[in-house]
Homo-oligomer: A and B are copies of this chain.
């Protein structure tokens, strides 16, 4: 990174940290957390969905926005839609879009639409926990503006609302803004060729 770019980056990170510190100062015993699950290992989304299960169990209204390509039906989606439609709102940002078309404009529109829904859910006083599943992918490709997302989380998120953002390659700005960051690391994954993704484990 050139020196001036380095300096700009450092200044930006310092500002995010200062905003986070100011937010923290207003908190006492409880606060809504900004959680990030990243890394190349398994469990980023599934632990997000595990938290959704906990919210449902505790009667905390919650919402999921999935920033995924295509329309592949997943187990979580099926279960939440079929069994927990009253307790958990479920949205797919790419729904109706075919991200596989390599049409960057459509991808951006899908991600932006997901982020619009995400903001509405986070601002909704009914909702206590919002899972932004795989949003890091949309951020990585700059389909969403990282500064806008971080600014919203630090300054507009209601104090008691938890937001969990998942996906590999979390941006440094997001890590700086977060309260809790977990990296899932793959220690061992020796599937030999020919072993498929397993239903229940990976889908």
Distance between Cα atoms of A43 and B27 in the complex (Å): 24
| A125: interface (CB < 8 Å) | no
| A108: interface (CB < 8 Å) | no
Q: Which of A45-84 contact B (CB under 8 A)?
A: 45-51, 53-58, 60, 62, 74-76, 78-79, 82-83
| A190: interface (CB < 8 Å) | yes
Residue pair A75, B46 in contact (C-beta under 8 Å): no
Residue pair B185, A51 in contact (C-beta under 8 Å): no
Distance between Cα atoms of A41 and B192 in the complex (Å): 28
| A96: interface (CB < 8 Å) | no
Number of interface residues of A (CB under 8 A): 65
The residue from B24, B47, B54, B78 contacting A57, defined by CB atoms under 8 A apart: B78
Query: A73 — nearest CB in chain B belongs to which residue?
Result: B57
| A195: interface (CB < 8 Å) | yes
Q: Which of A186, A189, A200 has the most CB of B within 10 A?
A: A200
Residue pair B182, A185 in contact (C-beta under 8 Å): yes
| A28: interface (CB < 8 Å) | yes
Chain B residues within an 8 Å CB radius of A29? 194-196
Residue pair A54, B27 in contact (C-beta under 8 Å): no
Distance between Cα atoms of A24 and B196 in the complex (Å): 13
Residue pair A49, B53 in contact (C-beta under 8 Å): yes
Distance between Cα atoms of A74 and B78 in the complex (Å): 24
Distance between Cα atoms of A49 and B175 in the complex (Å): 25
| A168: interface (CB < 8 Å) | no
Q: Which of A128-167 contact B (CB under 8 A)?
A: 128-129, 162
Residue pair B182, A178 in contact (C-beta under 8 Å): no
Chain B residues within an 8 Å CB radius of A42? 35, 47, 180, 182
Q: Which 7 A-B pairs have the closest CB atoms?
A: A46-B50, A54-B75, A43-B47, A57-B75, A57-B79, A47-B47, A181-B187
